[in-house]
Structure 1
Amino acid sequence: MAPYESDDSARAEEADDRLAGRRKAARYVVPVAVVGVAAATIGLVPALADSGDPDLPKVTAQQLIEKIAQSDVQQLSGTVKISTDLGLPDLGGLESGLLSGAAGGRDGSSADPQSKLLELASGTHTLRVAADGPDRGKVSLLDDAAEYSVIHNGKDVWGYDSKSNEVFHSTSAESGHAGEGADDKAPRDVPATPKDFADEVLKSVDDTTSVTVDGTAHVAGRDAYKLVIKPRQSGTTVGAISISVDAKTGLPLKFTLTPASGGAAVVDAGFTQVDFSRPAASTFAFTPPKGAKVTEGDDPKGAKGGESKGGEPKDFEKTLPKGFEKALPKGHEGTAEDLGGSKTIGEGWNAILVLETGGEGMPSGASGSTGNSDVDGFLNSLGDHVKGKFGSGTVFSTRLVNALITDDGTVYAGAVTKAALVKAADAAQ
């Protein structure tokens, strides 16, 4: 509604112009304010809309962390939206292909959970999730005209890609312990819900971390507290992490990680709808559709006709540092057992994984080639050639994790800045 009304058309037009001018100015003023404040904190948007925030009893950060730890939600169903922006270049899907290749090779089944769920590493995705205790769970990745589902029902883990009509099947060694003793292809290490992300982050809370409660919010129609986690250290690429915690159940409903460089969140995962009643048993029932190609994950010889080969994922993993995720802050030194022979230096959010590969780094430095033009283009788009006391090497950067590969084959990686990696490499000389 206009501030006032008049029969004089000229005055009305002038009023409209003024109002339009104020609206236009607001569009520019608000983003500037957001950028300025976001550099120092997280969760700004809910804070601006505090008129809708629920009035909940005061709690301390410690009480809220304990509430998360004590949460025992066994049954739920709902919809989760995940947006991931690591800052990777757009190479027409090549980066997704590389990630899928890392998980199981391009020759494997398109229904293999380890490769399929890695699509969550970039872009925006909608998931339907359901759980009924430790024995039953389902995650469905929704596409425009297709759906991919992972179903855990007792000892069976099924992956089904409706687009290709392919099925992947593996079994757990023990019923009732999802992920423990399961076949290597079970998606036990792929975070898909806010709780998955929150559990990993809370492991890193130590004296290098600031943890506070920053008000309340409504998430998926639920009252929630906002827990904010910030590094106390400089040199990390992590700006802050916000976790919205259901006030009644203690279940994390939303997880947001913003980089120290500012801008859009690197990871933003949250429920848009959630129901804590028990899902129907039929939710977890699965029978391969007629005509579907079925690949058995525990077949040591694999199957013919392009189906997945049992040894491929394990062989690839041998080329990577086991437990690479432990390069993220844990507040303690890694061990050779934890990291497959590698080690970590530094502590907290500034922890850096160091891996001695015993071989050469990037082929011929800046002018080198892997022999694959697509891969060369991908690597060169990320690479930044650096020099120091350690010699020379290439830094590969994302908005969160950076890695320095020296020309002698040593790898330094972590959620730290390029300068921190070069400093660590120099200090190792």
Structure 2
Amino acid sequence: MAPIDSSETHGGTQIGTPGDPAGAATRTDRLRRKASRTVVPVAVAGVAAATIGLVPALADSGDPDLPKITARELVAKIAASDTQRLSGTVKIATDLGIPSLAGLAGSLGQGAGASSGAAPEDRLTELASGTHTLKVAADGPDKQRLTILQGSSEYSLIHNGDQVWAYDSGSDEVFHAETGAAGHTDSRSGGAAEGTPQQFADEALKAVGDTTSVTVDGTVRVAGRDAYQLLIKPKQSGSTVGSVRIAVDADNGVPLRFTLSPSSGGKAAVNVGFTKVDFGKPAASAFDFTPPKGAKVTEAGDAADQESAGQGGGPLADLLPGGLGGLEGTGGAGSAGSTGNLETKTLGEGWTTILRAEVPGGEGLSSAKGSSSLLDAFGDKASGKFGSGTVFSTRLVNALVTDQGKVYVGAVTRDALVRAANADR
């Protein structure tokens, strides 16, 4: 972790000098991730978590008058937060200029032999596009509940001790898994439910380093709570990420809202925040579940299948610095490995990290029969010293697929991808 601007900031006025923050590393609950993580794929046809700006809906009017605090102190406050219980309503929306994923993951999963339309790895992918309202609750590391409201129906995911249940009221389908042991979650967040600002903030704080500027950007009210705003900005050029703002509860250090803005401007790319929040103990009944009579119940596959389904990082794992190593076999800049039939390597550092994957034998996608016209329909041609290829773009993540079988992907601009490909010959 490298320098955080420790300037005291109140209403945008800065005083002070740089300093080094306390570490904000988190521990990940493998069970919770494999049964209830928000899946946000980032690959050639991948999707990144991004949302429409919800600031007017999520923030109260009037900025609170709070004691001055440095960025270093605010990061430490988040890291030291020991809140174990919460419940509330979270709004999350995604807008990358791509079609909605609602129902897509489920239909693909069924085609691949998936056994339940209520399986979390299928249904939670829908959070990667569109606008959603979630009800969340947590009571310590072993009890969490997340409910996605879907008009007259809803989808609920419940973790209670060694039991994980998922229920889709629309299809009347139930998914059930037994973990064999109670899960272990981040001790700071007290097991906060997936999809909350805490989860997004944890990923963002992993990005703090020499390539990052961190300051306090005034105060705000979110869901009726006084909060400080932590501002994280890349120092590097070439990143598609312009800034990250995290509204931090002034009393307990819990992130209340997470906003990621693209460097290209316009609407926020990621904005996840509480509209209501209560830090009291949720009712025990919130974590109880009995399959409704007549519902179709599907048991999870064997432990190996569950482990395979749980691989990967959180919603920003492949967007922010430090997260591009989320694919198996990848790590820091210059590291190499393999994922399935792909040879992988990371290039660059910080916010301009790029993941390179190569098909053994150098066979490009364009060599497949009939694929050229399909690639042209969804991407733009690019060429350079690397040869030629196609660039696929979203507001945050871009991917270059070369005709020689290499793929370059990252939260970087098209020009940055081409430069990386040229240098990687």
Identify the match of residue 61 of structure 1 among 62, 71, 74.
Answer: 71
Structure with the largest fraction of strand:
2
Q: Is the 8 A contact 2:203 2:314 kept in 1?
A: no
Which residue in the other structure is 2:320 paired with?
A: 328
Match of 1:243 in 2: 246
Structure 2 residue 244 is matched with structure 1 residue 234: no
Q: 1:85 — aligned with what? A: 95
Q: Given the alignment of the two structures, is residue 157 of structure 1 paired with residue 164 of structure 2, yes or no?
A: yes
Residue pair 2:227, 2:249 contacting (<8 A) in 1 also: yes
Equivalent pair of 1:362/1:394 in contact (CA under 8 Å): no
Residue 185 of structure 1 is matched in structure 2 by none
TM-score by length of 1: 0.75
Aligned to 1:254: 257
2:366 to 344, 363, 366: 363
Instruction: Please name the residue that 1:415 is paired with.
Output: 411
Amino acid across the alignment from 1:223: D
Q: Is the 8 A contact 1:103 1:114 kept in 2?
A: no
Question: Which is bigger in relative contact order (C-alpha 8 A, separation at least 6)?
Answer: 2
**What does residue 347 of structure 1 align with?**
349
Q: Where does 1:9-408 land on structure 2 (aligned, <5 Å)?
A: 52-88=62-98, 90=99, 93=100, 95-100=101-106, 107-108=113-114, 109-178=116-185, 191-299=194-302, 314=308, 325-326=317-318, 328-330=320-322, 332-333=332-333, 335-336=335-336, 342-358=344-360, 360-364=363-367, 368-369=370-371, 376=374, 380-408=376-404
Preserved contact between residue 77 and residue 130 of structure 1 (Cα < 8 Å): yes
SS of the equivalent of 2:200 reads: helix
Shift of 1:336: 4.2
Structure 1 window deviating more from structure 2 (100-109 vs 396-405): it is 100-109
Return the letter of the residue paired with 1:423. Answer: R
Name the count of aligned residue pairs. Answer: 356
Distance (whole Å) between structure 2 residues aligned to residue 192 and residue 208 of structure 1: 27
Structure showing greater radius of gyration is 1
User: Does the residue aligned with 1:116 lie in a helix, a strand or coil?
Assistant: helix
Q: Deviations over 1:319-341 (max 9, x none)?
A: x9999935631294264469775
User: Relative to structure 2, which stretch is displaced further, 379-388 or 111-120?
Assistant: 379-388
Supply the RMSD in Å over aligned alpha carbons: 3.5
1:124 shift after superposition: 0.8
| SS of aligned partner of 1:421 | helix
Report the CA distance shift for 1:295/1:334 in structure 2 as closer, same or farther (over 3 A): farther
SS in 2 for 1:234: coil
- 1:212-264 Cα deviation digits (max 9, x unpaired): 10110000000000011111110000011110000001000000111011111
Shift of 1:316: 12
Residues in 2 aligned to 1:391 and 1:189: alpha-carbon distance in whole angstroms: 47
CA distance in 1, matches of 2:306, 2:66: 52
Distance in 1 (alpha carbons) for counterparts of 2:338 and 2:316:
9
| Structure 2 length-normalised TM | 0.75
- What is the distance in 2 between the residues matched to 1:101 and 1:244? 37
Superposition deviation, residue 171 in structure 1: 2.0
Deviation at 1:368, TM superposition (A): 3.3
Measured in 2, the distance between the counterparts of 1:59 and 1:141 equals 36
Indicate the residue corresponding to 1:10 in structure 2.
none
Shift of 1:357: 2.1
Distance of aligned partners of 1:402 and 1:267 in 2 relative to their CA distance in 1, 3 Å threshold: same
Question: 1:408 deviation in Å?
Answer: 1.8
- 8 Å CA contact retained: 2:334, 2:348: no
